[in-house]
Structures are given as C-alpha cells and as structure tokens.
Amino acid sequence: MSIIQPRTLKGFRDQLPATMTAREQVIETARRVYRSFGFTPIDTPALEYSEILFGKGSDETDKQMYRFEDNGGRDVAMRFDLTVPLARFIAQHVGKLGTPFKRYHVGPVWRGENTQRGRYREFTQFDFDTIGTESLVADVETLVVVHDLFAALDISEFVVHFNSRDLLNGLLEKLSLETESEAVLRSLDKLAKIGADGVRSELRDGGASDGQVDEILALAGLGGANDEIVASLPAIVGDSDTARRGIGAITTVLEGVRASGVIEKRVKLDVSIARGLAYYTGTVFETFLTALPDIGSVCSGGRYDDLASLYTKQRLPGIGGSLGLDRLIAAMEELGKIDERAATAQVFVPLFSSDRVSDYLRLSEELRSAGLSVELYPEGRKLGAQMKYADRRGHRLAVIVGDAEWEAGTAQIKKLDTTESEEVAYADVAARCHALLGAEA
C-alpha cells in the first residue's frame, strides 16, 4: 500500500506543543479575567442549520461560509463566529437563564477566506457577552474587560479604538444615505486596508456623490484627543435623534472608562471604526497593538441589539467582544512574548536503571504530591541522552538520583538553564525545588 503524503489544507494548521502551551496560557488568563467580571461558560455546536447563520453577518461571510448538505439531507453550515450562535442559544434558553446573562465561550470558527498574516480559515475566538440590557454600563464594562485582559497578558502597549454606529448612522441620515448604510459602513470598515482613495472609489461606485463622500471621509479623518473629537462632532454629524444618541453614548462610555481607572491613552475614540458585520447597532470597537498595528485588530466587538430578534419575539439586546486567539498568538510570537519551552512539567527525573523503576516512580509521585509537576523519563538510557532531551523540552530543574545517591539518601538538583547543581537530602528535595522555582519566578 502506498504511503499517504502527510499534509494539511490551506488555511488550516497543526499546533505544535510550544505554541499550544502558549495558547492554553492565554486562554487560562482570559478565562480568569472574564470570570472576575461575572461571565459564565457556555458551549454551542460547530454545526448549525444554515438558516441560523446565513445572512446574519455580511455578504462576505455568506460567501466564506462552509455550507453543505449532511447525510440526513439537511442544509447545514459551520459557524463563522460565536456571536450568531449565541443569539440562537439565548433565544432558545432564555427561560432557564434569565437576563441579564453574561457568558464566555472559546471555540474554533471557520471562514473560507484568503489566508494572510495572522488570518486563517480555521481560527479560535474567545468571546464574552452581556445579553438582555441596553444599559451603557455594559458597554463601559466591555471596554474595561478588554483593558484588564491585555494588562493581565502583560501587554502594556495597546489601544482600544471605539466608536458608535449611531454616530455614523446619524451622518448618513443627514446625507440622505440611510438606505445605503450597510454598504457605506462596509466600505468605511476597509479604510485601514484600502486607504481613503479606495473607500472613496467604492462609495462613488455605490452611488454616493463627491460631496457625500467628502463628508463621510471628513468624519472618519477626525483626530486629536478624545474630548476634542467629541466637541467637533455635532457640526459634522448633525442634530438628528440618532446623531445625538451616538454622541451621548460616546460621552457616557468615555466617562465610564475613566471612572473605572482605565489609562486614558489605552481607549481612543476613533470615528472611522465601523465594523463590517451587519448586526452591529451601537458601540463598536477594535483593539490594536502599538508595536504591531499592521497585524490588525486582536480583539473586536460591539453592541448588537436586534440580532436575537431573528429567533424570538422577546427583545434581547446584547454587547460583547471577541479575542482573536490565533492573531494574538502570532503577534505575541513576533513580540517575543511566547515561551518556546514545550515542557509542561517543571521538574525532570532521569531514570538511571531499570532495576530501580519502582524507586523512580515513587520519587516522581512524592514530588507531584508536594505540588510539583514532574516528567519521569521512561527508559534507562545514558544520562547525557536523557539530559539532552530535558534541555530540548525546556524543563526547569532535573532531580538526579543515581545508585550512590540512593545509598546515601540524597539527590542532585540541577538548574537546566545554568550549570548550577546542588546536593540535598532526599527528604528535602520537594522543598528545595519549590524554593528554586520560586526564586526563578
């Protein structure tokens, strides 16, 4: 039988131990932050009826959707994000859950798009959402969660750019373009990718006049301090109820994040932020790393007050954010914030002799019982080969017990990132390991 060539599909990846360990560390940190705000875990299926997903994001996501007929003849699709399934989930289970309901959810999603730096066809999102309230307190808290998350990840140089869809819609009402809002906002969402000239061309192709395009780009081009931008908005977006609601929301959010202790420079009012998905209705945001702005947003989201109404008559407004795990990990690798060690155990125990397997098993379990993570080498090979394995894996310490040490009731503890080693009494091995690892931390 011929050997099958081992390969992966374009846009799909295997995760090697070092990267997977880093991913798990980020997930654990995000989970801890989300839980500190009262968010609780849920899960939903990877596969949904197509009618649940189709037409809920954008024309682009509809084209990218993995959609097919299953063996039962059902029209099904793989989820392209975690928000649309959440809307279906809450409509189905709100009677048990009540509102407001705060959830977090980590899982893979799929989009058949062109692959690029930090962007894949299968990728993992880690979302958090608040359902069942229109209070701007939830909007403020969403930005504070993002702030606290990146601080917890030891990423200090980031900026959360936020805006209000009501502000943009207010301008479109002023320009009599409200019926074209979805197309206009989708074009505006591409501003960072295709530039002002590209957006201008798209808007003109869509029927907007030069004057209308000038006003849209004038709004998107506003810069300066947050309060300065707010002060200049009424003259640009007009005085409609929608525009006033947008300005009011922006002002409230800015006041709220300040009251929450968020550093001013980490939250930026950016009136060019539109978000391309059709379901957004109010506050929208994107998070950029200062050192790698061209990698794109690593955590995005916003308010979607009407999405659940597609599945239930009960009004279930929502707001949330989505951490793009794959893009964030790619950025952390570039920034040198990923530990390349593949070992998940702190301590390595080499096995000198198969005649003493029981002794090494007992030693390893005693160290684990003392709160240490331990990997025991499974074969009695030469010590040099075993230590080379430990170096390659990235263990912190090695506890070496040969025949002489067994007889003397001692052990050698070696720090694997240096040449330092010391001899301790067997009974003191666990305590000394803890001391050395604590000093290293």
Task: With beta carbons less than 8 A apart as the criterion, state whether 28 and 153 touch.
Answer: no
Q: Which residues contact 164 (CB under 8 A, 6 or more apart)?
A: 245, 246, 247, 249, 250, 282, 283, 284
Residues found in the chain: 441
CATH for 17-334, among 3.30.930.10, 3.20.20.120, 3.40.50.2000, 3.65.10.10? 3.30.930.10
Task: With beta carbons less than 8 A apart as the criterion, state whether 216 and 203 touch.
Answer: yes
Integer Cα distance of 215 and 152 in angstroms? 40
Q: Is 168 helix (H, G, I), strand (E, B) or coil?
A: helix
Domain parsing of the chain, residue ranges:
17-334, 347-440
Q: What is the pLDDT of residue 291?
A: 92
Task: With beta carbons less than 8 A apart as the criterion, state whether 430 and 373 touch.
Answer: no
The two structure tokens encoding residue 147? 């702030």
Q: What is the pLDDT of residue 440?
A: 60
Integer Cα distance of 283 and 166 in angstroms? 8
> pLDDT tens per residue, the chain (441 residues)?
899 999 999 999 999 888 898 899 999 999 999 999 999 999 999 999 999 999 998 888 999 999 999 999 999 999 999 999 999 999 999 999 999 999 999 999 999 988 877 678 999 999 999 999 999 999 999 999 999 999 999 998 999 999 999 999 999 999 998 888 888 888 888 887 888 889 889 888 888 898 998 989 888 889 899 999 999 999 999 999 999 999 999 999 999 999 999 998 999 999 989 887 788 999 999 999 999 988 889 999 999 999 999 999 999 999 999 999 999 998 998 888 877 777 889 999 999 888 899 999 999 999 999 999 999 999 988 999 999 999 989 899 999 999 999 999 999 999 998 879 999 999 999 999 999 998 665
Exposure b/e, 236-267, CB count within 10 A at least 16 = b: bbbebebbbbbbebbbbbbebbeeeebeeebb
Integer Cα distance of 297 and 327 in angstroms? 8
Integer Cα distance of 386 and 392 in angstroms? 10
Strand 75-78's sheet: what is its strand order? Answer: 47-49, 75-78, 67-69
Could you tell me the end-to-end alpha-carbon distance of the chain, in angstroms, rounded to an integer?
52
CATH number of 347-440: 3.40.50.800
Residue 404 has phi, psi (to 5 degrees) of -65, -40
User: Model-level pTM?
Assistant: 0.87
Integer Cα distance of 289 and 126 in angstroms? 18
Strand 421-425's sheet: what is its strand order? Answer: 374-376, 347-349, 397-400, 410-415, 421-425
Closest by CA to 56, choosing from 43, 68, 67, 42, is 67
Task: With beta carbons less than 8 A apart as the criterion, state whether 411 and 429 touch.
Answer: yes
